[in-house]
Amino acid sequence: MDSQVGRMTWLYVVLMSLIPVGMFIYAMHVTSGATLPVVVPALSLGEAMTVGAVLFVLEIGMFALMALIIRQLGDVVDTRPDDRQCYRFAALAPTPLWLAPLALFVPSAWFNGAVLMVAWCGSAALIYRGVEPLFRLKDSRRAQLMGTFILLIGMIVWATLMVVLTLILGLMLALR
């Protein structure tokens, strides 16, 4: 990683990754059961912070993984975006998903589900809008294909993150 990518990671990705962590801890202690399933017995603050720390590390790892995958996908369309562009794209595309947990201030599962769907649509729009300039594509069909690949991989990565988070929660409860 060069200095620009490192600076972007620290000033943007790390800060944005703290939003879901903080909101998870908030939802576990302030609005427990209203938006996230009730954990019985409730997590202590230390346990919630431990789960949050694991979530944070996973988010940073998934960001780096997505940047590498995006760079490799360039081979599909015979172009090679530079590393800075790939990392920037991997940082900006999930922005709506990083902001969506702020909806946890509203203790409604329906509202939070709707916000999550809007966030996914926002991320998809950022991906489809950014693929053409990133890969310097002139053919809109190839751009749509690349956008679809990136979106699907992003969905798989996000689902994996949620499954791992659930496993960590289960492990935390099992170790009591």
Residue-range domain boundaries for the chain: 3-174
The whole-angstrom separation of Cα 9 and Cα 87 is: 9
Q: pLDDT value at position 1? A: 63
Q: Which amino acid is at 12?
A: Y
Q: pLDDT value at position 96? A: 97
- List pLDDT tens digits, range 18-40: 999 999 999 888 877 777 766 76
Q: Where are the alpha helices (DSSP H) in the chain?
A: 3-8, 14-29, 45-73, 83-92, 95-99, 109-135, 140-174
Residue 136: count other Cβ atoms within 10 Å of its Cβ. Answer: 13
Are the C-beta atoms of residues 71 and 51 closer than 8 Å to each other?
no
Helix or strand or coil: residue 176? coil
- List pLDDT tens digits, range 80-92: 888 888 999 999 9
Q: Which amino acid is at 34?
A: A
Q: pLDDT value at position 4? A: 84
Q: pLDDT value at position 119? A: 97
The pTM assigned to this predicted structure is 0.88
- List pLDDT tens digits, range 103-157: 999 988 899 999 999 999 999 999 999 998 888 888 888 889 889 999 999 999 9
Whether 16 shows a pLDDT value over 90: the answer reads yes
- List pLDDT tens digits, range 41-67: 778 888 889 989 999 999 999 999 999
